[in-house]
Structure 1
Amino acid sequence: MLMKTSTQSLTEQLSGRFAQRIRDRLLAPGARLPSVRECARQHGVSPSTVVAAYDQLLAQGLVEARKNRGFFVREPSPEPESVRADAPAGDRPVSPWGTATGWITARHVAPTQATALIRGMFHKVSGRPQPGMGAFPPEWLESTFMPAAVRKVTGTKVLQDFSLQYGEPMGDSNLRRVLAQKLARLNVPATPENIITSVGATHALDIVSRTLLRPGDPVMVEEPGWAVEFARLTALGMRLLPVPRRADGPDLEVMAKYCEAHKPKLYVSVSVLHNPTGYSLLPGSAHRILQLANQHDFHIVEDDTYSHIAPEHATRLCALDGLQRTIHVSGFAKILAPNWRVGFLAAPPALVERLLDTKLLATLTTPALLERALSLCIEQGQLRRHSERIRARLDQARSRSVKLALNAGCRFESEPAGLFGWVDTGVDTDVLAQRMLDEGYLLAPGALFHAERKPSTLMRINFATTQDAAFWKKYSELVRRM
């Protein structure tokens, strides 16, 4: 609660609280502030205090007032538009690059909308488990084999060899060899010569985008989908073509319309344990996607970030396609060592040299010491056993979290699977997220997972961090007041 002090008025305290959250990107551009009456009730102040605080935010240029709608965090500069599959050519304005960009159906995608969640992860809003986190808790990842592997590859002679010269351009040869063996178990036919290491999976996705795309190019993305990928592609100047993601795969009818109307260059997919829904691709849909790719000449990048907690027999486009039009991307931040930042891509032979050139221009090489340590963890079976322990622990956590969520009145939009749950709260989760932040909880509201930000009653929860009954009790209290 706000308290009167001799140095700062209630108005200054309230405006300062909102200002700090806006500057820290904990309140994303486009987010609506609570109504004056609701904010007054929530903070125990008079409506006139709230009006004065909002006026200060207006004067600072942090918010804008929209007639009959309320106060909103100011949007950044306009970004390239998303387009709709059935938009007629005459309705599509000309982009800064001189090409048709499709028409706007809602707001622009802004990188800060995605980084609001990431910044929240790093700001440590409280010491409580955070429902909106995108990773396992650090204590889940603790092991003795990782430090041992690092010690083994940092003996005096080895350390000098690795430290005093650049690593191999494509990545450590030992790691690429064991990665090829690992992919073979997923029926993805990669050789060490098909594999390039990266600074995490996100860097691998960036290598692919910067190699295959140019500003203004249309890219099909799954919706709901990964907020960071939407923001990253938009920052590069791409046009997003949102494809609804269903239980069996993407909406193929929408994909076909996009192919006819916009000739997309790329389709970005999370086939297995999709974020945020938990869906996994079915074979029938996979075959049709590959047919469309061949017919309309676009590439597919398959983000397999959650492969370590997924069944090996799950349907993967890269396995069915044999790395012809597909590019496999994955990493180890989710399952093993977030700060090692080791990722990789496996690509068709014809693309490898182009992708490698892009990597070299951005990072030269990648840290060979940690890549070699990771290769030991994989080769000796330690990563596999570690993943099995994590999967077993996650299964138990998911069961508990689902029960707590259902008891709190949530409805699961999709069958709970993997790390994340996609739940319907029945209330505006942008507003709910602001109120839960005051209680020390970071949420992941549904608007973040759409290419065009709009109000949503959905939110993504992390099953590993939502086993706390205290969170669900506070959640229920706030929802009842909304």
Structure 2
Amino acid sequence: MLMKTSAQSLTEQLAERFSSRIRSRLLAPGTRLPSVRQCAQQHGVSPSTVVAAYDQLLAQGLVVARKNRGFFVREMPTPRTEGHLVETKHAARTGSSPVNATALIRGMFHKISQKPHPGMGVFPPDWLESTFMPAAVRKVTGMRALQDFSLQYGEPLGDTGLRRVLSQKLASLNVHADADHIITTVGATHALDIVSRTLLRAGDPVMVEEPGWAVEFARLSALGMRILPVPRRADGPDLDVMAKYCEVHQPKLYVSVSVFHNPTGYCLTPGSAHRLLQLANRHNFHIVEDDTYSHIAPEHATRLTALDGLQRTIYVSGFAKILAPNWRIGYLAAPSALVEPLLDTKLLSTLTTPALLERALALCIEQGQLRRHAERIRTRLDAARARSVKLALGAGCSFAAEPVGLFGWVDTGVDTDALAQRMLDEGYLIAPGALFHAARAPSTLMRINFATTQDAAFWRVFTRLKASG
């Protein structure tokens, strides 16, 4: 709250609040600040105080004023290479805004409060706590082993033991991949990046589901790719739209989350998967299947890689969501012809990956501890989802997709970009629907994390601010 008794004036306090959020990228470039009247009402100050605060932000070069439109966050000047400038210009042409996605990520590391953050894409840390992870690390780091791991690089493809265990784990999902077809990575996002850098060049068209993972839009835009958004329906992607893209643009890649799609929670149906693979064969493009949520999904769920047998598909997953975010262990499974090119890209970006934690993870999987841990998470998530859905409906929201998995795709009935700014003032970071589209546009939708929206206090604040908007 702004305090009249503070050593700073109300104007200085308000300007500092916006300044801090702009500099930390919690307010992305291009974001419109609340109107003077709205801001005055939200903060309980006079319009003249708001005007003075906005004038300070103008003087600091943090915002720009547009006649008859209001005040907008300005792009922060930073040293950039010529190549990066080209990529940034391309991102502007395609309508994507990488910083909007990184604003959400920055919120993970620069916590604005101790309150749960409904917009985050991860489980709360206390959900992931275990005794078996430290025990596994201790077991693989005896004096001799620690020296062996530390004094030399790991294997290029990744630890042999982990790749063998991953091969067995994939078989339980009907994805048959030999250990030599598996490459470990620094998280699943790194795996996606390896695939993009290997198969694509700047300017290449790539099909991505929409709504989709905000970071994927941002990452591909930063690489200079042409994003072709494919509407995601309950049964799978809009194949008519994909067919038209194939005829006009000849895309080389399609990025998909088949199971528990982010943010809708949709799962691909067998019929849609079959037609999609036929389209890929007919038009000669690859599919990268991001199975990040495999640990909380049914094993029998339809996966493109299982149907395709690693012909046109590349399978990607990781363990940050379910086990250890800071271990940064992900992996990909690829067709024979792509293993060496993908490995070359990995070696150029990271050389090898840390074998010590890979060996510890292999132990957790082999002994069944990861499976039991995932079962506990699923049980806890089911209970959290039931509570969150009840609270969301009670707050006047509706669900644009059936509530399953970790995320809910919620229709609030109000502009969630504007709502997000007001929620920040209350210490809550939400994920507005515009983040999940290639071209940012106003949306009444938002993604909620069921694990962090069980608190009735959040929904009371949400209801109050929604009504005051």
> After TM superposition, is the score higher than 0.5?
yes
CA distance in 1, matches of 2:7, 2:449: 41
The Cα of 1:103 is off from its aligned counterpart by 11
The Cα of 1:67 is off from its aligned counterpart by 3.0
Q: Which one-letter code corresponds to 2:119 in the other structure? A: G
Q: Determine whether 1:480 maps to 2:467.
A: yes
After superposition, give the CA deviation of every residue in 1:371-401 in whole Å (9 maximum; x if it has no partner): 0000000011111111111101100110010
Aligned match of 1:128: 115
The Cα of 1:63 is off from its aligned counterpart by 1.8
Secondary structure in 2 matching 1:31: coil
CA distance in 2, matches of 1:266, 1:51: 48
Q: Which one-letter code corresponds to 1:50 in the other structure? A: V
Query: Where in structure 2 are the equivalents of 1:308-387 lying within 5 Å?
Result: 308-387=295-374
Q: Is the 8 A contact 2:91 2:221 kept in 1?
A: no
The Cα of 1:58 is off from its aligned counterpart by 2.1
Secondary structure in 2 matching 1:459: strand
The Cα of 1:429 is off from its aligned counterpart by 0.6
Structure 1: state its 5+ residue gaps.
78-95
Q: Determine whether 1:31 maps to 2:23.
A: no
Aligned match of 2:195: 208
After superposition, give the CA deviation of every residue in 1:38-84 in whole Å (9 maximum; x if it has no partner): 1011111111111121122223222222333222222579xxxxxxx
Query: Where in structure 2 are the equivalents of 1:189-208 lying within 5 Å?
Result: 189-208=176-195
Q: Is the 8 A contact 2:97 2:440 kept in 1?
A: no
Q: Which one-letter code corresponds to 1:292 in the other structure? A: L
Q: Determine whether 1:419 maps to 2:403.
A: no
- Closer, same or farther in 2 for the Cα pair 1:275/1:42, shift >3 Å? same
Aligned match of 1:93: none
Aligned match of 1:116: 103
- Length, aligned pairs only: 460
Q: Is the 8 A contact 2:91 2:222 kept in 1?
A: no
- Aligned-residue sequence identity (percent) comes to 81
Out of 257, 271, 280, which is 2:244 matched to?
257
Aligned match of 1:272: 259
Q: Is the 8 A contact 1:428 1:455 kept in 2?
A: yes
TM superposition score normalised by structure 2 = 0.95
CA distance in 1, matches of 2:18, 2:248: 43
After superposition, give the CA deviation of every residue in 1:18-46 in whole Å (9 maximum; x if it has no partner): 01101101111222211100101111111
- Closer, same or farther in 2 for the Cα pair 1:135/1:6, shift >3 Å? closer
CA distance in 1, matches of 2:413, 2:64: 27
CA distance in 1, matches of 2:400, 2:309: 33
CA distance in 1, matches of 2:200, 2:25: 29
Out of 160, 171, 179, which is 2:166 matched to?
179
Q: Is the 8 A contact 2:91 2:97 kept in 1?
A: no
CA distance in 2, matches of 1:26, 1:348: 40
Aligned match of 1:2: 2
Secondary structure in 2 matching 1:474: helix
CA distance in 2, matches of 1:8, 1:148: 51
After superposition, give the CA deviation of every residue in 1:223-281 in whole Å (9 maximum; x if it has no partner): 11000111001000001000111100011111111111111111000000000000000
Secondary structure in 2 matching 1:248: coil
Aligned match of 2:12: 12
The Cα of 1:166 is off from its aligned counterpart by 0.6
CA distance in 2, matches of 1:73, 1:417: 36
Structure 2: state its 5+ residue gaps.
78-85
CA distance in 1, matches of 2:76, 2:3: 33
Task: Identify which range, 54-63 or 471-480, moves more after superposition.
Answer: 54-63
Q: Is the 8 A contact 1:32 1:430 kept in 2?
A: no
Secondary structure in 1 matching 2:31: coil
Q: Determine whether 1:297 maps to 2:302.
A: no
CA distance in 2, matches of 1:406, 1:282: 28
The Cα of 1:121 is off from its aligned counterpart by 1.4
Task: Identify which range, 121-130 or 201-210, moves more after superposition.
Answer: 121-130
CA distance in 2, matches of 1:17, 1:275: 31
Q: Determine whether 1:74 maps to 2:61.
A: no
Q: Is the 8 A contact 2:387 2:454 kept in 1?
A: yes
CA distance in 1, matches of 2:66, 2:273: 44
Out of 358, 375, 389, which is 2:376 matched to?
389
Task: Identify which range, 26-35 or 421-430, moves more after superposition.
Answer: 26-35
Q: Which one-letter code corresponds to 1:60 in the other structure? A: Q
Q: Determine whether 1:44 maps to 2:31.
A: no
Secondary structure in 2 matching 1:385: helix
CA distance in 1, matches of 2:216, 2:271: 26
